[in-house]
Structure 1
Amino acid sequence: MDTIRAAAVAGTFYPGSASELTATVDHLLDAVAVVDGPCPKALIVPHAGYIYSGPIAASAFARVRPYGDRITRVVLVGPAHRVFVPGLVSPGATKLATPLGTLSVDTAALASAGIEPNAAAHAREHSLEVELPFIQRVAPEAQIIPLAGTRADAADVGRVLEQLWGGPETLIVISTDLSHYLPYAEGRAIDQDTCNKIVAGEPVLERERACGSIGINGLTWVARRKQLRIELLDLRSSGDTAGSRDEVVGYRPTARGAASAARRS
């Protein structure tokens, strides 16, 4: 029998009706200029309300949109904001719901990676949920491997990602925002420094710099081992989209691809 993790932030972080949500996500994706090149192996994307971070998330998901028919599995990693979780946990569900329908969870992959369930950590968590409608629109056949956590060593998270790495059928998506509630110029400077560290492949970020540092650091650990090229796609904050510049939240999408693919681009 299926167990479904219900949508917790539909109607607040993103539209609650299927028709409006489809139109919103498609509009955000269509607004991104098409860039030729190989499909990224991994994305780092923001997870605020779509009015704030939707355009920045779309700039990353649009890069995999042309390859969506070959993506059958998405490893989705985000921070647990509401429940402290050492390591990574799954929701203990077989399906994840959004207004666009349900996505199947790859429970066999979770079991093979030794991931324990923690329904409470996922129940009201938005960091993974806000990425799901984008995944449904760009890779509608993909199963999800949903992982949330608060604190873990980069190597421990990296080893889980390596185990789930797969081939071109598997996309890694890391969900994170950057600095929070700083004046615009200060936040911009800190976020630029954070991005420089990520592009340089330094797995040393703290949660104060990026709430999803648990996933970023793990992915960076793997990227160094696999010699992946890291590309900054965009860098904006809520002050650039729909918010005041008195206190802003930073957003940055990043793509990572195999070194061989980078040489072809």
Structure 2
Amino acid sequence: MKYRQAAVAGQFYPAEPGLLTQQLTHYFGQAPSVHIIPKALILPHAGYLFSGEVAAKAVSLLRNRPSGYRRVLLLGPSHYVGLNGCALPRSDRFITPLGEIPIDRIGIEQLLNRRLAIASDMAHQREHALEVELPLLQFCLDDFLLLPVVVGAASPEAVCHLIQAIADSDTLIVVSSDLSHYHPYVDANRIDTDTRSHILALDPHLAPEQACGCDALNGLLAYAKLMQWQIKCVTHTNSGDVMARVQARGPRDDEEVVGYASFALY
């Protein structure tokens, strides 16, 4: 049995199971905001202080499906390893402070055999974009298989084909992506408003300047358009708004911020 250990527990989210459960209990304390049963989610991946609540509001919609999901196809960007195409782990289980998540080895072999991805533990070893979503999913779902995909430089068509090869009625698709990075607050709001409008239009032509997970996100948007899915922005914010709230002050127009938004596709 080969394990991928948590890489950013204690940095992006609490490493102590009790503290993590307490934080997640707070996030999921309210009933889902709308009665959407998601087929896919788009979630931010910053530290929980900044984007945890934004992600949780979308993840809470999973409770609208009583039968749960057999598998989660989780895609996100490569922050640490130069990568062309998509990378799958060799691990059998991913570990978080909330326990083990079994990897869908059959699904992984299907993708490898069809040459839709490569195997690379290095791409997964330090990657936080996938990891930070896992405790949120564990908290809201019963047992599920995980199929984690780190997406490097890849066309929307390539990612769409990968999703098509795996997607079924019992698979939840999750794409991990933040929005713009380190623009002054006013500029960031303008850029992110425009990006959200493109996402809501299922436009698979986002650039890295708009969303750091644009390659995975474009593939999902292409697939959603093909399937004629609907989409809703659940909520959004940015790091400037978060810090203003934490420090009980107004946002600073010249503060460089990162944008976060969550979406449900159905």
> Which TM-score band (shorter chain)?
over 0.9
Query: 1:238–1:249: 8 Å Cα contact kept in structure 2?
Result: yes
User: Are the counterparts in 1 of residues 88 and 121 from structure 2 also a CA contact under 8 Å?
Assistant: yes
Q: TM-score w.r.t. structure 2 length?
A: 0.92
Hey, what does 2:248 align to over in structure 1? Answer: none
Deviates more, 1:147-156 or 1:110-119: 110-119
Paired residue for 1:262?
none
Deviates more, 1:60-69 or 1:179-188: 60-69
1:30 equivalent to 2:29? Answer yes
Q: How does 1:61-140 map to 2 (within 5 A)?
A: 61-67=59-65, 69-114=67-112, 115-140=117-142
Residue matched to 1:250: 259
| TM value normalised by structure 1 | 0.92
Q: What amino acid does structure 1 have at the position aligned with 2:138?
A: Q
Question: Matches of residues 18-57 of structure 1 in structure 2 within 5 Å?
Answer: 18-31=17-30, 33-57=31-55
- Give the secondary-structure state (helix, strand or coil) at the position aligned to 2:163: helix
Give the length in aligned residue pairs. Answer: 254
Structure 2 stretches lacking a partner, 5+ long: 245-250
Return the offset for 1:144: 0.4
Provide the rounded CA distance (Å) in 1 between the counterparts of 2:203 and 2:140: 30
Deviation track 1:157-184 (CA, whole Å, cap 9, x = no partner) reads 00110111111x2100000001011111
> Once the 2 structures are TM-superposed, how far is the Cα of residue 68 of structure 1 from its aligned partner?
6.0
Structure 2 contact 86–149 (Cα < 8 Å) conserved: yes
SS at match of 1:193: helix
Retained in 2: the 8 A contact 1:84–1:149?
Answer: no
Deviation at 1:69, TM superposition (A): 4.2
CA distance in 2, matches of 1:220, 1:249: 22
2 CA distance for matches of 1:185 and 1:140? Answer: 41
Deviates more, 1:238-247 or 1:170-179: 238-247
Is the 8 Å Cα contact of residues 32 and 57 (structure 2) preserved in structure 1?
no
Q: How does 1:164-203 map to 2 (within 5 A)?
A: 164-167=166-169, 169-203=170-204
CA–CA distance in 2 between the matches of 1:208 and 1:68?
A: 38
Q: CA deviation digits over 1:109-142, x for unaligned, max 9?
A: 0111223211111111100000000111111311
Q: Any stretches of 5+ residues in structure 1 without a counterpart?
A: 258-265
The alignment partner of 2:211 has SS state of coil
Give a deviation string over 1:12-60, Cα, whole Å, max 9, x none.
Answer: 10001111111111211214x5334241100000000000000100111
Equivalent in the alignment of 1:263: none
Change (3 A) 1:218 1:68: farther
Task: Give the secondary-structure state (helix, strand or coil) at the position aligned to 2:235.
Answer: coil
Matches within 5 A, 1:147-166: 147-166=149-168
Letter in 1 for 2:11: T
